[in-house]
Amino acid sequence: MPLDIQIRAAAPHDLSADLLVVGVLPAGKSAALPPTLKPIDEALGGALSRAAAKEEFTAKRDQSLTVSTLGRLPFEKVILLGLGERRSLGAPEVRTFAAKAARAANGDKARSLALSLPAGFETELRAIGEGLELGAYRFTRYLTGDRKPKAELASVVIGAGAKLKPTAKAAVALGQRIGLAVNVARDLSNEPSNVVFPETFAHHAEKVAKDGGLHVQVFDFKEIRKRGMKLIDAVGRGSAHEPRLVHIAYTPKGAKKRLVFVGKGITFDSGGLSIKPAAGMGEMKHDMSGAANVVGLMAAIAAVRPKVEVHAIAALAENMPDGNAYRPGDIWGSLDGKTVEIVNTDAEGRLVLADALAYARSLEPDVLVDNATLTGACVVALGNTCSGWYANDEGTARAFSAALKASGEAMWRMPLLEDLRDGIKSDVADVKQMGERWGGSITAALFLREFTGDTKWVHCDIAGPASLERPTGWMQSKGATGHGVLTFLALVEGAAR
């Protein structure tokens, strides 16, 4: 359920909730608490200032201090969160602050939270709304009895340190809708594969489109084959759950640019005939995180309504072994027309993406972005909290870098090294599905580039299923769940300016 979020101009001691979280800016060389906390410190008999002195709390970034009120105030605890220097604070840092507050409330079994903002934060209310929903997220749908949380955060009152503008409430509400949109992606990825498979994923996508007033098409297996999407056919044919391709479109009048986002949607990846080891296979329900991200993005687009045409393509399949499964050594055609030699059926994501990219290219986008939990090689290179990205155009790369700065998400640009292109040359087909062991993320990107033509393109090899939490403080679920949605939204909003 969405949080019930209220906002008003109020000092910290004028708020009431189970838990009070106060954002604190450094007071120069002094370790003194801000004047707004004096009434709370007095009510606690100086306990807050004594604790701050003892713990050397100076409001550095990520510093925190917790004090129990012992019933002397209308909250059970007070948590001070250090924000660091004001000049270094933007939307990403403010979003993280709000997310940490919400997570602290859930961790403390608080049903209500009072969040006190320093003066000047009124310009970042959208980020506050985003962070509260992102931080409050927990996937508890299948917990019962004693395992079910006894309490969870339900309501938040935001206390602003200055007079609010008439648009304040709308800014928080918009941020909240964007946070909930990211949580759509997280929910999809966290669902087990017996619940979310290609057909049911498509149903979820249709609901998101309907709720947002967006147009949606779903291609069933018959249509996929009719259109010549032979690589999606190859990957999906080994499963009892037939593949799907979902196309969600937002087409406002007067839009001058068109952006298309493609997501890999392998709802479960056994590895196919090149079967994976049992250890870790259970995490392969997250191999559709790229597709979940583009659906979550469209939920955010429906909230923001930018003056840009946006399309999302989700290529959905379950990679399973049976007597009809594709095999190493096979040669398959593609929607693009190129033939592909199959080297390893566990490198299936690039195959469904290849057909999806060719389909997306037919929409003639100004920018084409794909994202996928594509290679373990990228996780080896960058760790499991940072994604890699590639671009074939410098202007597009600059725009994507600006979007990353706006979102605060951790991604690192990787090179499209032409020297490695020989690794995907085939002796028996137009292209080989994968190269040698070394540079695996790069050769995967080079393979995908074969299907993008002259389109300006960005590929995101998003941090893989081993990831548990993001250092930014708001990811609290396994998988690359939602990582990228805020960046893609920032890219769209940048194109709208």
pLDDT of 199-231, one tens digit each? 999 999 999 999 999 999 999 999 999 999 999
Q: Is 350 marked active-site? A: yes
Q: Are 452 and 357 in contact (CB under 8 A)?
A: yes
Q: What domains appear along the chain, each with residue ranges and CATH number?
A: 4-165 (3.40.220.10), 182-496 (3.40.630.10)
Q: Of residues 103, 258, 264, 350, which has the active-site annotation? A: 350
- Nearest in space to 367 (alpha carbons), one of 490, 215, 492, 248: 492
29 is catalytic: no
- Strand, helix or coil for residue 432: strand
As a whole number of angstroms, the distance between CA 490 and CA 1 comes to: 25
Q: Quote the pTM value.
A: 0.95
- Cα Dmax for the chain: 81
Point out the catalytic residue in the list 276, 338, 405, 421.
276
Question: How much of the chain, in percent, has pLDDT values that exceed 90?
Answer: 88
Measured CA to CA, the distance from residue 16 to residue 103 in angstroms comes to 18
Cα torsion angle, 109, 115, 116, 121, sign: positive
Closest CA to 295 of 258, 257, 247, 229: 247
CA distance 124 to 200: 37
Is the pLDDT at 417 greater than 90? The verdict is yes
pLDDT for res 119: 87
Task: Report the C-alpha gap between 124 and 408 in whole angstroms.
Answer: 14
Q: Residues 6 or more apart from 222 whose CB is under 8 A from it?
A: none
Angle between helices 394-407 and 91-107 (to 10 degrees): 40
What's the pLDDT score for residue 282?
Answer: 87
Beta bridge partners of 219: 245
Please, which residues bridge with residue 372 across strands? 461
pLDDT for 266 beyond 80:
yes
